[in-house]
Amino acid sequence: MNYNKLYELKTDKQQMIFNNGGVQMNNCKVLIDNQQIQFDTKVLCPFCLNDNTFDKFKKDRAWYICPKCKNLLTVKTCLSIIKMDVEQYAKWVFLYRLSGFFKKVDFEQWTNKMYEMGISFKFWKEYKRLKGEESYEYE
Ligand SMILES: [Zn+2]
C-alpha cells in the first residue's frame, strides 16, 4: 500500500467525479492503481453512463462486462471514468472516437442520459472545442 498516494487521494477534495447521475466533489477513497478492487466499489460505465457497484460486472478474462449495455471494460476504465470531470470525460470520448466509441453506444440513450445528468451542455462544449482545435491543427 502506498500511503502517500492514499493520503493524496484523501486530501484531494477538489477533484470532480460523477456519481449517481450528478457531478460531485471527490470523497471517494479508492486507489486507481490498487488492483484489489472492492466489490462495493462504484463504477461508472462510459458507454451507457449507468453507475453500478463493481460486483455487478461479470468478468471475462481481462475484461469486465457492463451489466447494462454489455460493453467490455478494463479495470482501468472501470475505476477512472467515475473520477473524471465532464471535460476529462469529453476528452476521453474524443480520443476514443476513432477506436469505435460511437459504435459502442446507443447514441440516443447516451445523449439523453447526459442530459439527465446535467452534463450535456458542458460535454458538447468541450467536445466541440477539442474538435475545433484538431481541425485547426490540420489546416
Ligand atoms: Zn454500460
Which sequence spans correspond to the domains of the chain? 3-137
Q: How far does the centroid of ligand 1 lie from the alpha carbon of residue 75, in Å?
A: 14
pLDDT at residue 78, as a whole number: 87
Residue 18: C-alpha distances to residues 2, 22, 104, 118, 131 (Å):
25, 6, 20, 11, 23
Distance 111 CA to ligand 1 centre (A): 13
Confidence of residue 20 (pLDDT cuts 50, 70, 90): very low
C-alpha grid cell, residue 61: 478474462
Q: What's the gap in Å between 50 CA and the centre of ligand 1?
A: 6
In this predicted structure, the answer to whether residue 24 has a pLDDT above a threshold of 50 is no
Kindly state the average pLDDT of the residues 36-41: 75
Of the chain, the percentage scoring pLDDT greater than 70 comes to: 69
Q: Which three cell numbers stand for residue 2?
A: 502506498
Residue 79 is predicted with a pLDDT of: 86
What is the CA(24)–ligand 1 centre distance, in A? 20
For the chain, count helices (H), then strands (E).
Answer: 6, 7
Query: In which band, very low, low, confident or very high, does the pLDDT at 121 lie, cut at 50, 70 and 90?
Result: very high
Q: What is the pLDDT of residue 4?
A: 56
pLDDT tens-digit readout, 46-103: 999 998 998 899 988 889 999 999 999 998 898 899 999 999 999 999 999 999 999 9
What is the CA(60)–ligand 1 centre distance, in A? 15
pTM of the full structure = 0.69
Task: Tell me, in angstroms, the distance from the centre of ligand 1 to residue 11's CA.
Answer: 30
Query: Helices 120-137 and 86-96: crossing angle, nearest 10°?
Result: 50
Instruction: Report the mean per-residue pLDDT for the chain.
Output: 80
Hey, how many other C-beta atoms are within 10 angstroms of the C-beta on 95?
A: 11
Contact criterion met (CB below 8 Å) for 78 and 52: no
* CA 128 to ligand 1 center in whole angstroms: 24
What is the rounded distance in angstroms from the CA atom of residue 131 to the CA atom of residue 2?
38
